[in-house]
Structure 1
Amino acid sequence: MKREIGISIYPDHSDPKKDQAYLELAASLGYTRLFMSMLEVTEGKEKVKQKFSFIINIAKELGFETILDVSPRIFHELEISYDDLTFFYELGADGIRLDQGFDGNKESLISYNPYQLAIELNMSNDVAYLENIVSYQPNLPYLYGCHNFYPQEGTALEFDFFVKCSERFKKFGLKTAAFVTSQTATMGPWEVSDGLPTLELCRHLPMELQTRILFATNLIDTVIIGNAYASEEELRAMAAVDRYKLTIGVVPTHSWNDLETKIVEDANHYRRGDSNALVVRSTQVRVLYKQEENPAQDNAHAFERGAILIGNDTFGQYKNELQIALTDHEDPRKNQVAYIPKEEQILLDFMKPWTKFQLIKK
Structure 2
Amino acid sequence: MAELGQSIYPTLGIAEANRQLDEAIRVGCRHLFTSLHLPEASVDDWREVRRLLERAAQAGMRIAADVSRASLAQFDADPEHLAPLAKLGIEIIRLDHGFTMEETMRILRAEQFTFQINAGSMNRDDVRRLEKEGVELSRLIAVHNFYPRRETGVTIDFYRRQNRMFREFCIATGGFVPSLTEPRGPLHEGLPTVEAHRRLRAAEAAAELIAEGLTDIVYFGDPGPNEKEWTAVSHVVSGLIPLRVKWIDPLPPELEPLLADVHTSPWDAAELVIRSPISKPFVRERGFDPVPRNTFERPLGSVTMDNTRYIRYFGEVQVTRTDLPADERVNVLGRVIPEDRPLLRHIGSGMRYAFVAID
Length-normalised TM-score, structure 1: 0.82
Amino acid in the other structure paired with 1:33: H
Q: Specify whether residues 42 and 328 from structure 1 end up closer, same or farther in structure 2 by C-alpha distance, changes over 3 A only.
A: closer
Distance 1:184 1:243 in 2: 19
Give 2:4's aligned residue: 5
Alignment of 1:321-340 (within 5 A): 321-330=316-325, 331-340=327-336
Partner-residue secondary structure (3-state), 2:33: strand
Q: Assess, with a 3 A threshold, how the Cα gap between structure 1 residues 216 and 346 changes in structure 2: closer, same or farther.
A: farther
Candidates 278, 291, 294, aligned match of 2:272? 278
CA distance in 1 between partners of 2:355 and 2:257 (Å): 11
In the alignment, what sits opposite 1:157?
154
Q: 1:77 to 1:31 in 2, by over 3 A?
A: closer
Rounded to whole Å, the distance in 2 between the matches of 1:221 and 1:319 is 39
Mapped pair 1:98 → 2:92: no
Are 1:27 and 2:21 counterparts?
no
Task: Report which stretch shifted further, 17-26 or 105-114.
Answer: 105-114
Q: Which AA in structure 2 matches 1:284?
A: I
Residue 200 (structure 1) aligns with: 195
Contact 1:271 1:353 in 2 (8 A): yes
Structure 2: how far apart are the matches of 1:255 and 1:125?
53
Q: Tell me the CA shift for residue 315 of structure 1.
A: 1.2
Q: Which TM-score applies when normalising by structure 2? A: 0.83
Aligned position for 1:54 = 51
Whole-angstrom CA distance in 2 between matches of 1:156 and 1:17: 30
Shift of 1:105: 7.8
- Aligned pairs for 1:269-348 (under 5 A) are 269-290=263-284, 291-301=287-297, 303-330=298-325, 331-341=327-337, 344-348=340-344
Report the Cα offset of residue 142 of structure 1.
2.1
Residue equivalent to 1:37: 35
Equivalent residue pairs, number: 353
What is the CA-CA distance between 1:248 and the residue it aligns to?
3.7
Provide closer, same or farther for how the CA distance between residues 99 and 261 of structure 1 changes in structure 2, counting only shifts above 3 A.
farther
1:310 aligned partner, one-letter code: M
User: Could you say which residue in structure 2 is the equivalent of 1:187?
Assistant: 184
State which of 213, 222, 243 in structure 2 corresponds to 1:227. 222
Aligned positions of 1:108-127 closer than 5 A:
108-114=105-111, 116-125=112-121, 127=123
CA deviation after TM superposition for structure 1 residue 23, in Å: 1.7
Contact 1:100 1:122 in 2 (8 A): no
- 2:345 & 2:8 partners in 1: Cα distance? 33
Query: SS of the residue aligned with 1:315?
Result: helix
- Cα drift, residue 10 of structure 1: 1.5
Are 1:249 and 2:248 an aligned pair? Answer: no
Partner of 1:70: 67
